[in-house]
Each structure stands twice: as structure tokens, then as C-alpha cells.
Structure 1
Amino acid sequence: MDAHAILDDPDFRKPGSDRGLLGIFRHYHLLTLLLKKGITTRYHGSALGWVWSYIRPAAQFLMYYIVVGILMGGRGDITLFPIYLFSGIVAVNLFSETLRNTTSAITDNKALVKKIYLPRALFPLAALGVGLIHFLPQAVLLFVVALIFGWSFGWVPLLAFIAGVLLILIFSLGLGLFFGSINVAYRDARNFVDLILMFATWASPVLYTWELVQTHAPAWLYHIYMVNPMTAAVELFHTAFWVPIAPADARPSHLLIQTLIAAAIALLTLLIGQITFRKLEGSFAQHL
């Protein structure tokens, strides 16, 4: 066939071109393979394996509960503080896991990136999926603990949980695409992400309530704080697991509006991350 005819063929695609996240599911088989690779290698050589997915959040919860709830004598003002604390920790852990995975997705797969062409967005998306799968044991553990404390099924808690998970995934993927693409050339990006994750627990209502921020912070700062995607996500997790067994007035009065604004911010972050990723992905192999 003539070369010009090939170039004019509508099915012909220039090597290395793709549609970013919009076209990634055309390569679902490759995505599945990367997911399996990430899952099987996560605890490779570990005697306990997946048990660590239960041990880590449980140990983290005990540390905060003993130090803040018992030794410091605080949080007596929060009804059922263990559920409040654990639901917030699980939400932040999902954010930490997915952001850390997506940020390092390209550098962790540098052998593949340098040798063969794959749509580059496959790597952070697969890393996001791995983080979500490893989040499930924590969610199950939280669900069991909430049941012990009297939690019962309801559509509002279920929808709040799903919305919280989606909000975290969108926000962390956007940040991961942005910092992950920069991290290929400048490893400082990974250190900046570590700083974000170091403050994540304290910048969300995990160890304290949103009312504390409302009382002590200026009004403008409080409103910014409440539309932070992670603040909204943590409050959605509280709505899903803590509010059903806590006082009815425990959730923020404008949570729905705050969640919608936080979702818009998360989507904007995803858009910026995607644009940055597509702009820099052509030079990934050279920098690696």
C-alpha cells in the first residue's frame, strides 16, 4: 500500500499519540495487566501478605487513639470518637496511597517507559486502581467496627461513602498526574508530595471537628477549609459511618454545597494534571 494512503487511512495513528485519559480504556487489556502486576508485587516476599492491609490502619488508629484520646485526655467532646477517628484515617489513607502511587507510577515503571511505547497515562491509572484495591480491606474493617457500634444500612450513608471515595480518587489522580509528570525530570516533586501527605491528617477533620476550625479560624479561611476536597471527603466518610450512630446535628449544615464545590475543585485539579501530563509525557523516556 502506498505510504500516503496509509497516512490518510482514518485507522492510522501516529506512533506515540493517544487521547490521554479519554482514550485509555481502549487499552483495557494492558491496564488489566498493569493492575495485576501492581497487586501481585505489592507484598511479594512478605510472609503476612495482605494481612498488612489490615495491620497498618489498625496500628495507626491505635496510635492516634491512645495518644490523643487517652494520654492527652482529649476528644471527650466527640461522641463515639473511635468511629470518628477511624473513618477519617481510612479516608486519608486512601488519599495517601493513591497520591503516592500515581506520583511514582512513571519512575517505578521506567524500564517499560524507556523500552516500548505504551500510553503513558496507563501507569498512573493502574497505580490508582492498585491503591483502590488495597483500600478495600481497610473499608471492610471500618464497616465491621461500625457494625459493632450499632451502624445500620441506609442509602444516605452508602451514597456518602461512594461520593467520598470518588472525590478522593479524582483529586489524588489529578495531583498524581501533575506531580508525577514533573517527578520524571525533577525528583523534588516526590518530596513535595511527601510534605502534602505529612499534613494531610492534620489538614482534615480527622483528629478534631470542623466546628473547632469554625470557632478559631477567620470566616474566609473556614470556608476555604470546608471546600478542600479532602475535608469534604472526610466529612462524607463521617456521614457514612459515624453520623448514623452519632447525634443528628453532627454533620456540617452545608455539606452538600461544600461537596459540590470540592468536586469542582477536584475536577479542575484533574484537568490541570492531565494537561501537564500530556505536555511533558513526550520527554519521559529521555529523562528516565
Structure 2
Amino acid sequence: MKALARKMTERYHYSLVVLKELVKTDFKLRYQGSFLGIAWSVVKPLMLFGIMYMVFVRFLHFTDGTPQYPVVLLMGNCLWQFFSEATGTGLRSIVDRGDILRKIHFPNYIIVVSATCGALISLGINLVVIMLFAVVNGVHFTWRALLLPLNLIELYVFALGCALLLATMYVHFRDIQHIWEVVSQMVFYATPIIYPLSMVSHNYPVIGKLMLMSPIAQSFQDARHNLIDPQNVQIIWNQIGNPAICLIPYALSIAFLILGVYVFRKYSRKFAEIM
């Protein structure tokens, strides 16, 4: 076992060093020259949450019937910001780093992974804010909070798979960026972020169950359920009785990652020539 670990470390040592440096550089450059700097990782999601809270909670009275709904809304917003940032920066990562690819030899996938890791760091910072916000709003944490990392890993796996696919397509077709902006906006409204899933399930139970087939909606609901409100937040496991069907969104996350890795590896050898 030790020999295998040593062999894996030696094999991927160079890749890990490059990944670490790219993540550090990207994160520093992201807020370079701005007054608030890294604080924008927290301020931007909070500002968007404030707007959503005033419009959808105060004026339109969206709620799942629990006093913790503002925390549920904040968490959904932060998780969506992560997914949107990971796929958006991942999509442009290869083209934006084309100069490095032509000068330095290293596995191309590291560039996409570094872009998604930057979004993951921002999510980690936002999770601290969510935890503090939850404590202030009287959320009682249970043992299910220990399952939250599994939900985040699933979301990251799906986001990385999408980023690898999008980055590959963007090298060949620059129009994919505009198409993805429209698709991601559609996914945003098809995911229970600004409205509770119970609102859909009450009037259209079949549509509510179909929404949970999406790895994004399923991971969002699972994360909210495990951290904030295990009693009232609807998840796929308490909405669908068939365990085989419940495993579909998890399988889709893995399938997207496998597909993304396959497509990326197949076409990555010609990236430098095309760019």
C-alpha cells in the first residue's frame, strides 16, 4: 500500500505542483486592483442574496413554511454561484491559458481543474458565512451536517465534468460561450434556488420529482436538507420510493465526469495547434 502511494505521488507530483501554482495565481489575479479584493467572494453572493430575499421572500412571499427559509435561500444562491463560476471559468480556461500551453509541457486538464478549484475556494469561504448566518437564525445542526461534504463532492464532480466538456467545445466553437449562458440561465430557473421545491411539488408533483433527477437540484436539496432543515426540505429520498431511481442523479454526475474526461483527452492533443 505504501509502495502504491509512493508511486502515485511520484507520478503526479509535477502535476500537483503546477495545479497548486495555477490555483494561487488565478485566485490572486481574480481580484487584483479591486478595493475589496478577496472580500468580493463573500460580498457578491450576499448582495445577490439580499436582492433575492427582498423580491422573493418579502414581496412575493416565497417560503417552505419554516423560519429557516432565508438560510435555505442563501445556501442555494452560494451553491449556484459556485456551479456558475466553475463552469464559466472552466469553459474559457484553455483558451485563456493558451500561451502557457504553447510554452510549458504539462497535462492540459490541470488548467480546467485549477479554474474549478478557484470556484471551490470561494465556496469554502461562503460556507463559513452560511454557517454563521445559520447560527444567528437559530438553525439546529444535526448529525446529518457531516454528510454535507459528500453533497459538495457530488456537485463538484458534476461541475468538473461539465467544465471539461465546455472547455473542449470552446476551443473549437467560440459560440458555445453564448449558448452556455442561455442554457445556464434556463437551468437556474429550473432549479429550486429562488423558490422552494415544495411550491412545485404541491401543484405539479410529477414535475417536482423530475426536477430532482437533475444532479444540480438533487445536490442542492440534499445539502440544504443535511445542514439546515432535515424535517422540511424535500429530497429525492423522501419524494421517490424506488432506490434505483433515487440513484439516477448520482450516476449522472459520475457519467458526466467520465464523458468530460474522455472527450477532453481525445481532443486535447490538438489544442495548441488550433489556438
Q: Give the letter aligned to residue 17 of structure 2.
A: H
- Shift of the alpha carbon at 1:95? 0.8
Of residues 199, 204, 213, the one that matches 1:227 is: 213
Query: Which residue does the alignment assign to 2:115?
Result: 127
Report the counterpart of residue 171 of structure 1 in structure 2: 158
In the TM superposition, residue 76 of structure 1 has moved relative to its aligned partner by: 7.2
Structure 2: where are the runs of 5+ without partners?
1-10
Which residue number corresponds to residue 274 of structure 2?
Answer: 287
Instruction: Give the aligned CA root-mean-square deviation in angstroms.
Output: 2.2
Q: 2:195 matched to 1:211?
A: no
Identity among equivalent pairs (%): 23
Aligned to 2:131, which of 143, 150, 153? 143
Q: How far apart are residue 216 of structure 1 and its match? A: 3.6
Give the structure with higher Rg (CA).
1
**Which of 201, 223, 233 in structure 2 is aligned with 1:250?**
233
SS in 1 for 2:189: coil
- What is the TM-score when the length of structure 2 is the normalising length? 0.87
Counterparts in 2 of 1:185-204, with a 5 A limit? Answer: 185-204=172-191
Change (3 A) 1:253 1:181: closer
Equivalent pair of 1:84/1:242 in contact (CA under 8 Å): yes
One-letter amino acid of the counterpart of residue 235, structure 2: P
Match for 1:85 among 73, 95, 103?
A: 73
- Report which stretch shifted further, 171-180 or 131-140: 131-140
Aligned residues: 261
Contact 2:171–2:271 at 8 Å: present in 1 too? yes
The answer to whether the Cα contact below 8 Å between 2:168 and 2:264 also exists between their aligned partners in 1 is yes
Shift of 1:196: 2.9
Query: Do the aligned residues in 2 keep the contact of 1:124 with 1:176 (CA within 8 Å)?
Result: yes
* Cα distance change on mapping 1:103 and 1:24 into 2, 3 Å: farther
Worse-matched range after superposition: 76-85 or 222-231? 76-85
Superimposed CA distance per residue, residues 36-77 of structure 1 (whole angstroms, 9 cap, x where no aligned partner): 111111111112101111110110111011111122344374
Instruction: Compute the displacement of 1:81 (Å).
Output: 2.1
Q: Secondary structure at the match of 2:35?
A: coil
Letter in 2 for 1:178: L
**Counterpart-to-counterpart distance in 1, 2:237 and 2:118:** 33
What is the rounded CA distance, in whole Å, between the counterparts of 1:283 and 1:229 in structure 2? 31
Give the structure with the higher percent helix. Answer: 2
> Which amino acid in the other structure matches residue 250 of structure 2?
A
Match of 1:71 in 2: 59
TM-score, normalised via structure 1 length = 0.83
Cα shift at 1:259: 5.9
| Residue identity opposite 2:104 in structure 1 | I
1:152 Cα offset (Å): 3.8
Query: What are the Cα deviations for residues 194-251 of structure 1, in whole angstroms up to 9, with x where unaligned?
Result: 12322333221122222333334472x443311210111111221133205xxx2433
Q: CA–CA distance in 1 between the matches of 2:227 and 2:142?
A: 10
